[in-house]
Structure 1
């Protein structure tokens, strides 16, 4: 039998053995982990540690993603990307930047001014930030840089992408352009995307390019590169590509847009074509235009001066930025306001002696001898000013403004374009707040025919016409899809105007083009299935004195160009089943019937026909002239191939 001491001794030995085993196991595990780690370091990461031992380092370089492409509604490419061979330099890797730039200069042409600009930018940027030395190099120049890169510390040749607009002139205003990120751009962003720090990275500056920047830009990729102690890039360790920007498809029809520009050529003018059933903008053209590729490449001083000193203002987008007195086209709004507020019935008449007298002041009708007694349809057909002076004076300007806003005039429409203007339809309160003066009855008289304080853009007038034609609160839209996924828009709601009232105005607009006293009778469409309704307008840009009226008003053709009236025309077709609406203004073109209506008819017919208007749509005595006119236009080839898209849908 074991004694107590023997038992305790045996237990102690067992405890020591277990501790020894546990300690040994732990030591074994540690040795195994160290062994595995050593194996990993020696075999899998040998190059990396060798690089570190040699004084090399790893740098993270951002990869700019391809910018999203932009297409028209039929898949034609409107904004694409092209290869751009470029060279950058990084100060902390280059060391003596003056020497490196001198070496680069021996390989590619760089002027003294360019070298000075590069040196200024190098000093301005952080040491680790790449600075652009040259871009858009030819292949031979780029090859010389590549071959000599080992002797050019801190220099990186790159193959990037740059924006290109293949149909430059036709889409400059709506598309806008891209340009290098500026300090101002960075200052407008709270947390700038690291992409924006890439030398000369391009972002949208105007138009769709600017308003849809977040969607088009994409997300950066990155690559890890080995750079030696001398700042030379030795090799690429790994690469992760970025996410391309979204492809956009617009509602625009490229061929219709091209035709619109061709018909406006030579004028200072603008037009908007809308689908009255859903608000799609099919064409939105401002003339003269310009080449946005100049801004992408870097516009020269003479080029920019030529644009800014042109009195036809090619840089201005007259379709959404231009505000004009809408003239008699605004009588569509006035007619609906008078009907809706009970100021006039369809058969009620107003006598027009050629003027309307208020407080001893005469407001003249465009027809000096007057129109006699006219009803609503006759007043629209013959564009009688006195009729509208009278009926709007009965309801007041505030009721007129309410109807104008309902018809889309005097409101800012949500479109991804630059500086979309709100326009102006005045009220009594507006004048008091703006000028500190009370509203006068004469102000109402002027507003009733779209003069005085009233201002509208061609976009406003296209929306107004679309709403009158459809009876729906149509909203203009420009984006059709993103990466093949169709944009969701709410269905347009009814205007809330009784259809009987809308029909009365539509009959008047139909008579404007097709009636026996039609002001736009020379611009009618004779094909019955394409019959057109419209409204002419002429907007004064100068005051006509009483003395001049006594002598006889000077004809527009006898005035300097800048003092002539603006010519306007709005229309929709077909009358029986409205599909398209067109608004058009010719700055200082004179009368709307003579300057604007013929162009608007051609554009409407192109939309209806889906191509060059057929001659049987014109009156017989106008067909030879129309054919000659179209033969002289430089139209887009109907067989122009559409660009391939990519879809994430």
Structure 2
């Protein structure tokens, strides 16, 4: 009996043991299968997930290329900026973290939350920018409380700094945060939301060269998102440094001369096309755009009636007035309408049909030839030439002289201007060209519109013997190591449509403008310095004869003042175009500015020839008759 019981107990224990082993084996099979699933079948996915939890990729912004003047003076530099961001994945309860951050950084919580809402759509493991350029005091406060601020990171970026402030602001331009449209355009170049890009000037036109190439680093972070160690780094490639053709000293002199005066000044090397100075007045400080400005500040800029945000040198379109007589003279000589000995009598007016077109000089110039007509800016002489040429022949010559067409300067948003033709008027207005309109067109009024840069290019071509150069702003580009990758060599785009013989006649007339007894710009005469030029007074509104007052009280109704000039005639080194908005007389306001600019560039210490007194200027006077206002 005992033997039977022992056998039964052993079988029972054996059965229980086998059952337990089966369960253990089944458990191991299940665990093994699960391990196989996790490590083999889904291992790659979990590995990526694990790395995303502990390994991050951080972007390294490339240092933006610097901008210098032609002599190496620094115009646009970079400085470090401490930008405050949050990684929502690491921030725990984001609202609690932001509440602490608001207290430590003295930033309203509502402002921080608005940044979070604006960053919707950004992956939770990527930083959302909360505030740029926080300053060292805020930086110190955040560093002290870093362990209370999970997910809060400080990114050190390069921020643009314009060392000379307003100097050459319209040339260098400014930077701003990338827009949605720009991001779409530049997305293949590695741009991201929050990046800063050039918005104007060289900053914009040379963006792809200044930008550089983004780098990055692979880092390991802890549960709070804090960097434990750097695993791998790919250095960013700095952008190219740009040397402009601008001469900083000449630029500052031009800006000083234009201080408080709305208008434009551009100086050009007649032998290369290099722009030596480019001033649009009033100007702005490009540094104000870097830190961001309020809507009120921006609206104040764009609503300013003197248009500080417009580069008037390339965007301003003005009637060329009597400076256009250079083109009329070239066309008349080349077409055989006049020659060196052709004379017309100027009694102070010209009668055409039932209308009278006045000369700016009421008493008249008497009998004048082409040289005297240019020197004294005789309207009656050029009325006669314009009638014989017609609008279409004049337009052909104006276009060949570079007017009414883009100069293709290496800046964006250049205006084309307008040189009218009979076909243009019929298409635009539905009425044919009237022959009487040739009179106003011939002296640079009517529908004619040019930019100051176009007039500078024309003046430079007259100075150098007839070669039209493309105006250049960028002298060269260099890598950070100093290797030149681009050089702005002179580029011929055409020639003036005039023989050397006839061009010399025109040049003689321009010399007499400043040196002749009847010249309209004798105020620009400087003993020992050969300046040739041409004045112009572009009327903005017609004036009725019965008013009896030649001065218009309201500034915006006053005429624009022009003066184009070059020096020296035998060895031209500089050509200048000056436009003073509502400055009335070219001789009185624009010519002195050009004179002082040329004196500085030529290193001339002489003083103006005070023995001469300038005439009021070649002011075209409008009178109103039954047919409307005429010159």
Instruction: Compute the TM-score of the two structures, normalised by the length of structure 2.
Output: 0.85
- Does the aligned pair in 2 maintain the 1:329–1:570 contact within 8 Å? yes
CA distance in structure 1 between the aligned counterparts of 2:348 and 2:89, rounded to whole angstroms: 81
The alignment partner of 2:418 has SS state of coil
Cα distance 1:543–1:496, how it changes in 2: closer, same or farther (>3 A)? closer
User: Per-residue displacement from partner, 1:317-347 (whole Å, max 9, x unpaired)?
Assistant: 1111111111001101110011111110011
When the two chains are superposed, the root-mean-square deviation of aligned CA atoms in Å is 2.2
Query: Residue 182 of structure 1 corresponds to which residue in structure 2?
Result: 179
Structure 2 vs 1, CA of residues 124 and 357 (structure 1 numbering), >3 Å: closer, same or farther?
farther
**Kept in 2: contact 1:66–1:244 (CA 8 A):** yes
1:513 aligns with 514
1:270-299 alpha-carbon deviations (Å, 9 max, x no partner): 100000001000000011111111111112
Deviation at 1:302, TM superposition (A): 4.1
Tell me which stretches of 4 or more aligned residues in structure 1 moved more than 6 Å: 49-55
**In 2, are the aligned partners of 1:121 and 1:131 still within 8 Å (CA)?**
no
From 300, 307, 310, the counterpart of 2:301:
307
* Aligned match for 1:476, one of 471, 478, 487: 471
Q: Is 478-487 or 449-458 further displaced after alignment?
A: 478-487
Query: Could you tell me how far apart the structure 2 residues matched to 1:522 and 1:53 are?
Result: 80
Q: Structure 1 unaligned segments of length 5 or more: list them.
A: 1-48, 623-649
State the match for 1:412 in structure 2.
406
Within a 5 Å distance, the mapping from 1:377-392 to structure 2 comes to: 377-392=371-386
1:590 aligned residue: 584
CA distance in 2, matches of 1:458, 1:282: 14
User: Which shows bigger deviation, 233-242 or 371-380?
Assistant: 233-242
Unaligned runs of 5+ in 2: 1-45, 613-631
Question: How far apart are residue 97 of structure 1 and its match?
Answer: 2.3
**5 Å matches for 1:418-457?**
418-457=412-451
Distance 1:329 1:376, change over 3 A: same
Partner of 1:145: 142
1:489 matches 2:489? yes
Match of 1:120 in 2: 117
How far apart are residue 497 of structure 1 and its match? Answer: 2.1
Give the aligned partner of residue 320 of structure 2. 326
8 Å CA contact 2:89, 2:124 repeated in 1: yes
Separation of aligned partners in 1, 2:177 and 2:48 = 36
Verify the 8 A CA contact 1:85 1:159 in the aligned structure 2. yes
Q: Helix, strand or coil for the counterpart of 2:191?
A: helix
Q: Please give the per-residue CA displacement for 1:570-620, whole angstroms capped at 9, x wherever unaligned.
A: 0000122111100001111111111110111001111111xxx51x24226
CA 50–439 in structure 1, closer or farther in 2 if over 3 Å, else same: closer
Contact 2:560 2:579 in 1 (8 A): yes
State the partner residue of 2:526.
Answer: 525
SS in 1 for 2:249: helix
Q: What is the distance in 2 between the residues matched to 1:202 and 1:475?
A: 30
Aligned pairs, number: 560
Any residues of structure 2 matched to 1:27-46 within 5 Å, and which?
A: none
Look up the SS of the partner of 1:283 in the other structure: strand
CA deviation vs aligned residue, 1:196-243 (integer Å, no higher than 9, x gap)? 23xx32100111101111001000000001133443433221211111
Q: How does 1:31-430 map to 2 (within 5 A)?
A: 56-189=53-186, 191-197=187-193, 200-430=194-424
1:550 is displaced (CA, Å) by 5.0
Q: Equivalent residue for 1:534?
A: 533
Q: Deviations over 1:479-538 (max 9, x none)?
A: 1000052525355354352111110000000000000111111220211xx210000000
Distance 2:144 2:49 in 1: 26
Distance 1:379 1:58, change over 3 A: same
Q: Is the contact between residue 288 and residue 314 of structure 1 (CA under 8 Å) also seen in structure 2? A: yes
Distance 1:490 1:273 in 2: 16
- Residues 541 and 505 of structure 1: CA distance in aligned 2, closer, same or farther (over 3 Å): same
